[in-house]
Structure 1
Amino acid sequence: MGEPAAQSAPLAGLTAIVTGAGRGLGRAEARELARLGANVVVNDFGQPGRDGSGEASAAPAEETAAGIRAAGGRATAHLGDVADFEQARALVQLAVDTYGQLDILVNNAGILRDRMVFSMSEDEWDTVIRVHLKGHFNTTHFAAIHWRERAKAAGGPVHGRIVNTSSEAFLAGSAGQPNYAAAKGGIVGLTTSTALALAKYGVTANAICPRARTRMTEDVFAGFQEPADGTLDVLAPEHVSPLVGYLASPAAAGVNGQLLVVHGGMVAIAERPRIAAKFDAPHEAFSFDELDAVLTPYYAARPPNETFAAAEVLGLKHG
């Protein structure tokens, strides 16, 4: 299925970094940003295993960048591990050296090492937290320095956009992914903190929870068949990338510190946790019996296994 022609180029003259862009979601996002006019630095570590195993290779990043150039866009490939502080610095510097400045950062790179919490090793925990959470921090740190310096030199706000990748595993829980769910929750916290810190410089930071058929989700969506009639797969990454393009654009200047769920032609805006109920102690402090009297019946009346997620929005069922 061919891509629709762009009606405008809202990202013309802007430069973007997309991490983990050699395959899947990152590749679709890099292509969309280029289609909208951006220069794109395509980052990928190129390891063949979705658990981060195997030898690093420049081939996936080079292939995505070459495809963008073949379509008339501008793209540069970068082989690097964003969870390495100095390699993240070099990635941001490459964008600045190649295109003059950085305007958009899309953090997408990640791996999976799934295990139940009672079976997970220390290395399986540390590695996933490192790639997802530290990787998001590292690139954000150096991009933030760049934008702060530019804003000071300009004497006012600049165009800066961060789009981070969280997950419904954080929103609704994922029993076999305590490392991944924790990392994705941390990314939301990093995003909202960054949004507050950089707003005065003209920079926004938002997070998305995408659902798409990629190498990382091949087991999750194994039961969902791709359409045979040539129509766009409901789980295609191309359903996610337009939202990334919008959040990267000047049109989204008023969108900051937000969490959005996106898949299959749907975008849902997630609210921050709100107080669902409140109980006041009859005296200076609660006793055990007083807490038992108010909390036990309250939770008994709620659905079993209820999480923070809006299940009706996410299309999930209580287990």
Structure 2
Amino acid sequence: MELAESRRVNQKIKQLQQEEKKSLWKRTVNYRLAFVYLLPSLIIFSVFLFYPMIRTLYLSFFLTDAQGNSSLFVGFENYLYLLQSVMFQKSISATLLFVLYTVPIGIGIAFILALLANEKVKGIGFFRTVFSSTLGMSVAASAVIWLFLFHPTVGMLNTLLEFIGVSAVPWLLDPTWALISVAITTIWMNTGFSFLILLGGLQNIDQNLYESARIDGATYFYKLKRITIPMLSPTLFFIFTITFIHSFQSFGQVDILTGGGPAHSTNLIVYSIYQDAFINYQFGTASAQAVMLFSVVFILTFLQFHFGEKKVHYQ
């Protein structure tokens, strides 16, 4: 009798366990389905993002051979070498100055163009196309165009300056002007993307707000300050973040226009990483620079989100 009762209890326990497993399987079906859909992206990110990041961090603690294989563990000596290197300090200074040139000026120009293109006047579609045209051009093509414009003798910019009685400017030959020249090229390249995003944000603002302000007698600049900028703040915050990160990653225009010169005045940190890795074959110090660049961008972006996002109006 007791044996039969024990068997029934065990049977009941097994049945409950099976039902619990089936219930758990049903509850997690959405998670498993989501994982299946995400699996291709996870594989791609692992191959092209996560593994290179881990590999870069690993190599930053080693001296490497010409093939990029680790040969001698040196710990933090690569980082200490960079912090004491005058060349690296110049690279950091040039990069920060370059970001200061390109980000606020580029966003300001794109914002003004977006305000103009948002006006409902005849033929405005043509100007919208012109303002956004740089979006479809590659970095190489854009840099080559500006390379001819900056030419010291036959360039159009110096020709125009001489026409109005101003002496020619050594755009790419003078250390002071070279960084400004690369910044001008970068601003021109990024204007199309920023313009389109800002124009889309302007067109999503509720027009009833402007109508109410117009009835109350508000001026254009009052509406700009009290309606346009607050309602556009999420878009401005997004553009500022993206442009900020892209400025730290600038490479193509530097390589084509100046090659890091003259006198290393345009040797931005990404170009410095390229030189150390693929010209000098010092993959250890190049990896250390990449890690430091990632850390700086991460910290500055975190601070931007922590302090800047508080002024963003999402409603």
TM range (shorter): under 0.3
Q: Which structure: larger Rg?
A: 2
Q: Which is helix-richer, 1 or 2?
A: 2
What TM-score do the two structures reach when normalised by structure 2?
0.25
TM-score when scaled to structure 1? 0.25
Larger fraction in strand: 1
